[in-house]
């Protein structure tokens, strides 16, 4: 079944800084004008981070720009928002976070049908040499594509 998915915000830096071990889909608890602003694509998760407090998951520093036509109903763009996950998913994440080196990072925000969803990842931090390997692989792939393109032109 092809569901209607529209990407709003992507966190490319998370894939560069972390090894993503596991992914979860979570809903976002939002207020009225925030949803309208998200539908227009006014969102950033680059500086955002996640915490588990009292058995609930919260996202901090996720910036949703105020809706232009929203006047007094607009909320603070950087307010703390709750993520909607099942209890067993939260317990699974909590157990993994107890291990050293694991963290929870936001990967992307998207519209799935009429609902706003966020993909979060259970991640392990990369060392500097891991990042250098990724850069080298990317350069090699870019060079190979360039050679392939030049070869096919003639």
Q: Would you say residue 108 lies in a domain?
A: yes
Q: Would you say residue 131 lies in a domain?
A: no
* Residues 4-11, mean pLDDT to the nearest whole number: 85
Instruction: Give me the CATH number covering residue 96.
Output: 2.40.280.10
Q: Would you say residue 14 lies in a domain?
A: yes
Query: What pLDDT sits at residue 77?
Result: 73
Which has more pLDDT, 42 or 119? 119
The rounded percent of the chain whose pLDDT value lies above 90 is: 7
Q: Would you say residue 46 lies in a domain?
A: yes
66: burial class by Cβ within 10 Å (0-12, 13-18, 19+)?
middle
Domain assignment of residue 35, given as a range: 5-126
* Residues 106-133, mean pLDDT to the nearest whole number: 84
**d(C-alpha 18, C-alpha 71), whole Å:** 39
Structurally, the chain folds into a number of domains equal to: 1
Which one-letter DSSP state was computed for residue 73?
A: G
Q: Would you say residue 82 lies in a domain?
A: yes
Residue 2 has pLDDT above 60, yes or no: no
Mean pLDDT (the chain, rounded) = 83
User: How confident is the model over 8-57, as pLDDT tens digits?
Assistant: 888 888 888 888 888 999 998 888 788 888 888 888 888 888 888 888 98
Q: Would you say residue 13 lies in a domain?
A: yes
User: How confident is the model over 48-81, as pLDDT tens digits?
Assistant: 888 888 889 899 988 888 877 767 667 777 788 8
The rounded percent of the chain whose pLDDT value lies above 70 is: 94
Cβ-proximal residues to 115 (8 Å cutoff; 6+ apart), any chain? 27
């Amino acid at each position: 079944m092809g569901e209607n998915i529209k990407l709003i915000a992507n966190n490319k830096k998370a894939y560069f800084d972390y090894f993503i071990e596991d992914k979860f889909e979570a809903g976002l608890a939002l207020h009225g004008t925030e949803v309208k602003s998200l539908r227009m694509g006014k969102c950033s998760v680059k500086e955002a981070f996640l915490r588990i407090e009292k058995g609930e998951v919260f996202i901090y520093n996720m910036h949703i720009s105020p809706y232009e036509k929203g006047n007094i109903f607009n909320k603070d763009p950087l307010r703390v928002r709750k993520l909607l996950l099942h209890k067993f998913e939260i317990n699974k994440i909590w157990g993994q976070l107890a291990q050293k080196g694991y963290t929870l990072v936001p990967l992307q925000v998207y519209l799935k049908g009429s609902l706003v969803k966020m993909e979060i990842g259970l991640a392990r931090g990369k060392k500097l040499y891991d990042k250098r390997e990724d850069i080298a692989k990317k350069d090699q792939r870019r060079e190979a594509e360039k050679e392939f393109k030049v070869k096919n032109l003639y």
